Amino acid sequence: MPATANEFVSDLQRQLAEFATRIDEQFPQNTTVKMGADGLPVLLKYSAHVIPESAQRLHIEVMRRMPQRSLLDILVNVEHLTNFTNHFGPASDSEPKIERAAERYLLTVFAIGSSLGPVQAARHLGGVVTAHMLSFANRKHVTVEKLEASRRELIEFYLTLDLPKAWGKGTMVAADGTQFDFYDNNLLAGYHFRYRKMGAVAYRHVADNYIAVFGHFMPPGLWEGIHVIDALQQPPLSIQTDTVCSDTQGQSAVGFAFARMFGIRLLPRIRNWKNLKLYRPRASARYRHLDSLFRETVDWKLLRRHWKDWMQLVLSVQAGRIPASTLIRQLSHRSDVNTLSRFAEQLGNVDRTIFLLEWISNQPMRQEVTAMTNKVEGYHSFSKWLRFGGEVIAENDPDEQQKYLRYNDLLASAVILQNVIDMSQIIADLRREGWTITEEDLSLLSPYLTPGVKRFGEYGLDFDRELEPAIQQMLARRRSGSSKDGLSELVKEA
């Protein structure tokens, strides 16, 4: 980044001027947008992507061949591969004093992640554990931080597999919230005007390769975009996020300002974007085709005057002294007295102007943002399908509420990981049988598959059973220090 206020402002002004001029000059060649009677651009609808017949056949065949497993069998397989329960344990970090701790932890993940709860889960586990044993493991051996660390184990293992690379690099995420039902007398619960009922909002970030990398509960009515940067302040994964897609709730002028300072490209699908102001780089700047869109001029003097104060604020966030969401929420309340609030708004307006100009001129980007937001909606539905034990979160403790969301995400991540392993095996088998499977066919698959998952019935956990051949092969490769996942070798041989 530029090292002085003058350089910072000059660079920003140059970017805005060059981009606005280029988009205006290219506007006559743009066939995906036209000017309406009111002088504002109208985005033309684009045709839906046609799914090839070969991809449809592949999807049907994969669904048909998915092996049947219970959720507990899936958790056992994933535990053998990742040892994610190693992150659980007493607060003293000493060895757990409970018998067969890994099994107890898996049963706890299943009980709370599926929303059955300790009491109902214990009734269906054939007397293996009591409700008190499950509740004790949750309250004394599991924290929000430990759940985050365990889920990171699954995510890192997932990133080593080959099939997810056909869906995305993991550098782009989609952010969106979904409603959870709560008891009314609750600090977190509130009435949501869109869902028209009491509850709270689970705000999640889902990567382009379908894995969820962040989840957090927030009260309804709170602007979701304040948590966009928080997800990126978590301990970094081996693959770094550089692009965030969202809906209208995932953006604001202040959000754009913070995204720039953290090197994040923010791509929101903004509702009623024509009502937003676009900013000229100079008061004298005029444009032949898009001039009616520009209503204000950036206050460069303000940006130059308070640049140092802003940089000190950003450095405090980067150092972990204060969460970005706290500042975004505070600075979003416009105040003529608060100069940093005005600075963030002016800086964000520059980036939002550049984004909106690109939005009306770049149809592939609009399609990509729509596809990403569809993925996060798909994840919400998939994780809800796994919460078959009940809709209402019967917890009033804020910490337990945050743990509930992370248990559900941990269970969903385990099922996604198992699905990818099974899908990779099936694809290898199909290629041996002579199927021609293209990269496009693979890119149109999804790990949010449910035909192979058994949710109901009497539940049993056999931690010492003989592992499946695919799991044994992957474990052998990990013990030998090989960086390959084992499945990629099967595919190559096929």
Judged by average pLDDT, the poorest of 92-101, 176-185, 283-292, 303-312 is: 176-185
Minimal CA–CA distance to 123: which of 476, 492, 459? 459
DSSP string spanning 221-286?
A: TS-GGGGTTGGGGSSPPSS---EEEEEGGG--HHHHHHHHHTT-EEEEE-TTGGGSPEEESSTT--
Domain definitions of the chain by residue range: 5-51+169-380, 80-152+397-493
Q: Using one digit for the tens of pLDDT, what is the confidence trace for 50-80?
A: 889 999 999 999 999 999 999 999 999 999 9
Binned at pLDDT 50, 70 and 90, residue 490 comes out as very low
Per DSSP, 447 falls in state S
> Is the CB of residue 54 less than 8 Å from the CB of residue 448?
no
> pLDDT per residue over 193-203, tens digit each?
666 677 788 88
235 against 398, higher pLDDT: 398
Query: How far is Cα 47 from Cα 21, in angstroms, rounded to an integer?
Result: 29
Give the Cα separation of 342 and 266 in Å (integer). Answer: 20
Q: Where are the beta strands (DSSP E) in 334-493?
A: 392-393, 453-454
Positive or negative, the Cα torsion across 314, 315, 317, 318?
Answer: positive
Nearest to 376 by CA among 239, 257, 246, 475: 246
Strand, helix or coil for residue 158: helix
- Give the amino acid at 61: E
Q: If 0-12 CB within 10 Å is exposed, 13-18 middle and 19+ buried, where does residue 59 land?
A: middle
Better-predicted residue by pLDDT, 369 or 192: 369
Is 446 in a helix, a strand, or coil? Answer: coil
d(CA 180, CA 411): 17
| Most confidently modeled range among 101-115, 243-257, 388-402 | 101-115
Rg (CA), the chain: 25
- What's the helix, strand, coil split of the chain in %, to 5? 55, 10, 35
**Spatial distance between the Cα atoms of 439 and 431, rounded to a whole number of angstroms:** 13
Nearest to 182 by CA among 3, 354, 393, 376: 393
- 300-310 residue pLDDT tens: 999 999 999 99
